[in-house]
Amino acid sequence: MPALVNEQFSDVFERAIEAKQVAQQEAEKASNELKEAKIDAESRVAQAKGETEAIKIQAEAITQQGGAAYVELKRIEKWNGQYPTTYMGAGATPLIQVK
């Protein structure tokens, strides 16, 4: 059986091999990008479901407590840590209710 030594392939054959390799690499890259997109989408769906569940729990708590505690919580969350420098008039709702 004769050995292949210093065989040269035609330019067309070499370009075909190179084109095939490039096509395979591009296909792998596209496949990886698709997998990443699917994982990202699944992550966003899971996050949205978690947020939906949190909102549902908050809504149930507000309904059970009549909403007063929720309003108080939101007022505290928005407080910037500064006490008002002006005095409140009669009938005004204080920022924090002291009991």
State pTM to two decimals: 0.48
> Is residue 86 a part of any domain in this protein?
no
Percent of the chain's residues with pLDDT above 70:
77
> Is residue 88 a part of any domain in this protein?
no
3-state helix, strand, coil in the chain (%, to 5): 65, 0, 35
> Is residue 74 a part of any domain in this protein?
yes
Which pLDDT tens digit goes with each residue over 26-48?
A: 999 999 999 999 999 999 999 99
> Is residue 84 a part of any domain in this protein?
no
Q: Which domain holds residue 45?
A: 11-78
pLDDT band at 22 (very low <50, low <70, confident <90, very high): very high
pLDDT of residue 48: 97
Structural domain total, the chain: 1
CA 96 to chain centre: 35
Residue 1 has pLDDT above 60, yes or no: no
Give Cβ neighbours of residue 13 (< 8 Å, ≥ 6 apart).
none
CA 17 to chain centre: 41
> Is residue 89 a part of any domain in this protein?
no
Greater confidence (37 vs 68) lies with 37
What would you report as the CA-atom Rg of the chain, rounded to the nearest whole angstrom? 34
Smallest Cα–Cα separation from 71: which of 46, 96, 47? 96
